[in-house]
Amino acid sequence: MKTHIALLRGINVGGHRKVPMADLRALLTKHGFNDVATYIQSGNVILKSKASDKRKVAEKIRKAILDHFGFEVSVLVKTRYEIQSILEACPFPISKKEDSYFTMMDAMPSKAMVDEVTQIDLPNEEIQIINDCLYFYCSNGYGQAKFNSNRLEKKYKIAMTSRNYRTMMKLLSLSEESLAS
């Protein structure tokens, strides 16, 4: 069994696309996943699967949610190693890293997207792309940020989902516990 970290985008936000975590755990267990655990209400799932292909795991989760809850959800699946690599590759010093957001993509960005992001110059905001992650820091806090990855996602037709540093660290910790069981 391989441990995966599934990141669901846009559930339980503003009262829309409600997915109770207990229901999600039961649903995924019913669909053949083992040791299903969730972290907070925003769609962070650690699970084990016989499948090692992350895209197949993501598609199985997406289809299960669509069939059960009746709406589409983007699902990105990462390994523990990938989450750890994303954190290690963060270009910001630790003082900024701990207040950063990590926007993971389901594919490598195009050169055009990287070039566009490189041109963004917003006061108090720093944005960089390394591999399939967009690193974002805003000294005024995420809620005050002018940058929004939704436009990039639509324009370049690439699925993205963001997590803050604390959530990324917790996913590492939970996936380590999952490996031990």
- pLDDT tens figures, 65-115: 999 999 999 999 999 999 999 999 999 999 999 999 999 999 999 999 999
- DSSP β-bridge partners for residue 162: 103
**In the structure encoding, which two tokens stand for residue 132, read together?**
């399939």
Give CA–CA dist 172/54, Å, rounded. Answer: 17
| 138-154 confidence digits (pLDDT tens) | 998 888 889 988 889 99
Domains of the chain: 2-78 (3.30.70.1280), 83-164 (3.30.70)
- DSSP β-bridge partners for residue 163: 102
| Contact (Cβ atoms closer than 8 angstroms) between residue 142 and residue 101 | yes
Whole-prediction pTM: 0.91
